Amino acid sequence: MAEIQNKEVTKEQSMIIQKEMVSGLFKDLATAKDTGKKVVYTFIPGNLSELIRAFDMLPVYPEINALQSGMRKKSSGYIKEAEKYGHSEDVCTYVKCDIGMMLNGNIGPTGEKLPNPDLLLLSYTGCFTFMKWFENLGRLYPGVPVAMIHTPYQENGRITAEMTEYMVKQLKEEVIPKMEKISGKKLDEEKLKEILRNSAKAEDLIVKIFDSTKHRPSPIDAYFAGVYYIGPINIGFRGAPEAVKYYEALYKEIQIRIENGQGPITPEGEMKEEKFRLVVEGPPNWTSFREFWKLFYDKGAVIVASSYTKVGGVYDLGFRHNPDNPLESLSEYCMTCYTNLNLPQRIALLEKCIRDYAADGYLTNSIKSCNSFSAGQLMMMRDLEERLEIPVGFIESDLVDPRYFSYSNIKNRLESFFQMLEQRLLINESVLN
């Protein structure tokens, strides 16, 4: 993921560590068949990366590959390939991009071939499409076992003992036995506990990092840069000592930025003037990621919190992986992922972000092909608008299908949104003076 940080920007320590982690992982994946390492395909929401790591297996995240393909301008071809294969125009474009990539030889983001899966670990967390996705992968890789863990939705906004019990049972009876069979190892509980300890450390740090946006100017952008910061956790390094090292380095760098009163780093260098502070709901567009980001930093808009960086886990409400209750905490982790929260919970979380980070505006990026995010987005926006009297904006794009990114439409709406915020700020100023 580090590769798209701009060359003009001097590489910070954290970026170097991140780059090493990423290239190391893809090298391991490319040589997995030779080294005999087993490969697990799984999803970011509700990812059981600690378990995978405990068995010394390697994770592959199709969403990550899809978004990388989007950034490297390959998704359009992959999507067409998947449509030729029979997938409709309305299917999630992560799915189509992923399937198209596999049909095209499964060359990963680093240009190295990705190994075939030894296990399809279907963590069904908040997104119905996941099930269909792995059904398709099941067909593409006949004979590869599927282990499914079903995460019960937090419909009533709380986790009951029964829900946890239900998940632990699945881990014990479905997921762990299959992992043991494929890896040929018994689960090493001590090893898992050590990994979970590291996870908790990384989570502590990531919370502090994302909390730094309460400073003015905010030292980081919690959406466009946030997806890089959350990267190591989301590609399977949660629980790895390297991740702890990475987040320590990153946290230190951010501390320095705060001391120096510096704004966030953008692909064109440091953002000079912070004019608007935003909370953003919904995934970013990946095919025009740079142009999309530029529309914000050019106008001095910094994102102080985003829901998308919470899809792989919500840590700012206190949840930590817990070595004392490994399976229970893995279960709880899955159930607290953003897309598994009910709408009132999501609203409450966003409200907390808006208040804690003193946001001037709330923006929804509605994704054409993402049902799990789009459902309820408007209702959430209205609710926040009424509750907080915060100016709100709504734009539409897509994950990795470039056909649904209309630069001029988005620019036009964002310009209006920023001018709207500007008016509001002027009014507020005149009230204060």
Partner 1 sequence: MTKFYLGIDLGSTTSKAVIINDEDEIIGRGITNTRANYKVAAEIAKMEALYDARFTLLTKKLEDEIGARVEFKRYINDIRAVFQYLEFRQRADRLTDELVKTAGNLRSQHRDRVVEVVRNIMDTIIPDIRREFIDNNLGETNQFFRDIISGHYNEQVARVDKELFELLMLTFDKSITPVENELISFDFKKLVHESMRILEDKYKGLAGKSATGERIDFDVELNLLKGNYQDVEDTLRQHINSIADEDIRIANMVGTGYGRALLPFPEDCIKSEILCHAFGAHAVFPNTRTVLDIGGQDTKAIQVDSHGLVTSFHMNDRCAAGCGRYLGYIAAEFNISLNELGPKALESEREINICSTCTVFAGAEVRELLNIGEKQSDILAGLHKAIVMRAVSLLARSGGVRNEFTFTGGVARNQAVLKYVKEMVADSYGEEIKMNIHTDSIFMGALGGALFARRNIDIDLPEKKKKVTRVTNEV
* Contacting positions for partner 1 (CB under 8 A): 378, 381-382, 385, 389, 391-394, 396, 404, 406, 409, 412-413, 415-416, 419-420, 422-424, 426-427, 430-431
Question: For partner 1, which is the closer residue by CB, 160 or 412?
Answer: 412
Angle at which helix 93-103 crosses helix 75-84, to 10 degrees, equals: 80
Residue 51 main-chain phi, psi, to 5 deg: -65, -45
Question: For partner 1, which is the closer residue by CB, 256 or 426?
Answer: 426
What are the tokens at 411? 């620019």
Question: For partner 1, which is the closer residue by CB, 305 or 381?
Answer: 381
**414 CA to centre of own chain:** 23
| Contact between residue 57 and residue 40 where contact means Cβ atoms under 8 Å apart | yes
Q: Say how many CA atoms lie within 13 Å of 104 toward its Cβ.
A: 21
| Contact between residue 421 and residue 276 where contact means Cβ atoms under 8 Å apart | yes
Question: For partner 1, which is the closer residue by CB, 6 or 423?
Answer: 423
CB of 374 to partner 1, least distance (A): 12
CB of 349 to partner 1, least distance (A): 21
Question: For partner 1, which is the closer residue by CB, 320 or 368?
Answer: 368
CB of 417 to partner 1, least distance (A): 8
Count of CB atoms situated within 10 Å of the CB of 113: 14
Name the strand (E) or helix (H) holding 123.
Answer: strand 119-124
Q: Quote the DSSP letter at residue 45.
A: T
- The Cα 15–Cα 21 span in angstroms is 10
| Contact between residue 306 and residue 222 where contact means Cβ atoms under 8 Å apart | yes
CB of 411 to partner 1, least distance (A): 9
CB of 63 to partner 1, least distance (A): 24
| Contact between residue 414 and residue 295 where contact means Cβ atoms under 8 Å apart | yes
Question: For partner 1, which is the closer residue by CB, 172 or 382?
Answer: 382
Question: For partner 1, which is the closer residue by CB, 335 or 384?
Answer: 384
Name the strand (E) or helix (H) holding 266.
Answer: strand 265-266
- The Cα 124–Cα 129 span in angstroms is 9
Residue-by-residue DSSP string for 340-382: GS-HHHHHHHHHHHHHHTT-SEEEEEEETT-HHHHTTHHHHHH
Question: For partner 1, which is the closer residue by CB, 286 or 417?
Answer: 417
CB of 382 to partner 1, least distance (A): 6
CB of 418 to partner 1, least distance (A): 8
CB of 416 to partner 1, least distance (A): 4
